[in-house]
Structure 1
């Protein structure tokens, strides 16, 4: 399968009055043609910083890509100039942000905002760009697109605004689409509609998606592969089945245990104890050790490498070392694994249709 994007040993720092914050520490991953890669983790784990660095949208004054590569079409865009990136953004790589109201210009009509990338990157005439914009509004499910073209963002509901943002992001048929928690600001019903829309559009426009979220429930519905981030690092990566049915990192166990369930008997929702590490002074060893009830002595002394579980599944935990004691996932995780497996078996076989 063709690689659309390669991130290799990426290290990013922010220079603050308090000192250097090492926000991203040796992150590597690939994005393949036509797939959806979900990057999950708590707030502050480095998800958005990683993806904004791909678009080169980090603040230029105090952020710095210390080392590493971001390869797109064989070129390292981590070293590209701002002028070069202006040709990439919106055309080859697009981004959907969390809050559609802050993504849209309140003083411009919806039509003009969708036409803008078509005029700039596709060099279409105004009439042709307008027709294409109307078709995009139809594609994302907005009724009466001709009249909606003349309206402003405040005249749309939250779900409709997010559909407009998706239309803008897809205007130039980008090869890579980055969705940074695109459903967080929406209610549950609209969330489902937007997720279904994105899955449908991916098939139609043939784009690769990086989906940022803290919600593992969302991941199960949209992703092909999952990368779990903690403390500025990827600590586990695998197919969606491997992460849900066979998780190996204690942090992944914590995230799965934290998922709310309608049939759970517990009165309280599980939370991972403690707080994420202070990346002004990254901890020695495994950054998750102080929050990990299964931590070994070596976790406080030496950072674990990525252990191979399968050709597609890797996890950075000393529990996978041959000499480590055998530790089973907590009961809450095993219960969820059984539930996921039962749901998978009961789901209709799409290939058989």
Structure 2
């Protein structure tokens, strides 16, 4: 598969009154054409900051890329000017944000907001742009699109507003769609509809998707690969099957263990103890060690490298070292992984 995006040792910091917050601390991953990569982790793990860096939307001058490369089709986005990025945003790389009301202009009709990108990036006249806007609203499942074009965001429900945001993001047939927790504010039914919509659109357009969420369960049947982030780093990355059936990092075990299932008893629900570290002063060694019941002595001294589990699966935990004790995931996590196997994998459901 051809690589659309290559992120190499990306480090992003924010200058604050208290000092430098090291929000992203050496993230590396790639994205292939037509692929869905999910980036998961708790709030504050660096997921959204990574996505903002990809779009050069960091709040300057306080937020900045400290080092690293973001190669889009071989060209480093980090080095591009604001003018150059304006040509890329919306046209080649689009983004769907968590809150549609913060993405939509409340004073503009929906039709004009969709047409804006078509006129700017596709050089369409207003007549053709309007026709395309109607098609896009139909594509995302909004009834009576001709009428809806003339309405304002407040006249739409939350789920429909998010569909409009997806339509705007897809207007110029982007090669990469970044979805930053696009379903968090929606109820479960609408959430499922939006996820299904994104899967269907991807099949039609062959676009690549970066799906950012704190909920592993949301991505189980959406992603091709999953990157687990903690304290500004990717601690485990692999195919969806790798992560859900054969997770190796204790943090991933914690995320899996905290997922409720239909057949789990209420008292079985698990919460990861403690809270993420302060990235003003990142801890020495493995940042997850203070919250990790399986932490080794070396975890407090030396940061683990990425160990290779398979050709598609890597995890940064000293438990994978040849001299480490053999530790299995907790029983609750093993039951969940076994449950995923019994219900069928993402590929098996296709």
The normalised TM-score by structure 2 is 0.98
SS where residue 277 of structure 1 aligns?
coil
Alpha-carbon distance, 1:349 to partner: 5.8
1:110 pairs with 2:110:
yes
Deviates more, 1:76-85 or 1:225-234: 76-85
Match of 1:9 in 2: 9
Distance 1:312 1:144 in 2: 45
RMSD: 1.2
What are the Cα deviations for residues 229-258 of structure 1, in whole angstroms up to 9, with x where unaligned? 000000000000000000000000000000
Q: Cα distance, 1:301 vs. partner?
A: 0.3
Written as runs of structure 1 = structure 2, the 5 A alignment for 1:67-216 is 67-216=67-216
Structure 1 distance, partners of 2:136, 2:204, is: 12
TM-score, normalising length from structure 1? Answer: 0.98
Tell me how far 1:266 sits from its aligned partner: 3.9
Distance 1:348 1:178 in 2: 25
User: How is 1:60-71 mapped onto 2 (pairs within 5 angstroms)?
Assistant: 60-71=60-71
Distance in structure 2 (CA, Å) of the matches to 1:165 and 1:142 = 12
The alpha carbon displacement at 1:263 in A equals: 1.3
- C-alpha displacement of 1:61: 2.0
SS in 2 for 1:101: helix
SS at match of 1:299: helix
Deviation of 1:101 after TM superposition, in Å, equals 1.0
Could you tell me how far apart the structure 1 residues matched to 2:20 and 2:346 are?
Answer: 50
Show structure 1 runs of 5+ residues with no match.
none
Say if 1:195 and 1:304 are closer, same or farther in 2 by CA, change over 3 A. Answer: same
Residue number in structure 2 paired with 1:308? 308
Distance 2:124 2:215 in 1: 39
Q: CA deviation at 1:262?
A: 2.3
**Gaps (5+ residues) in structure 2?**
none
In 1, distance between residues paired with 2:348 and 2:206?
24
Partner of 1:319: 319
CA distance in 1, matches of 2:347, 2:105: 42
1:219 positional shift: 1.0
Is the contact made by 2:222 and 2:346 (CA closer than 8 Å) also made in structure 1? no
The offset of 1:104, in angstroms, is 0.3
8 Å CA contact 2:268, 2:332 repeated in 1? no
SS in structure 2 at match of 1:267: helix
Q: How many residues of Structure 1 are paired with residues of Structure 2 in the alignment?
A: 350
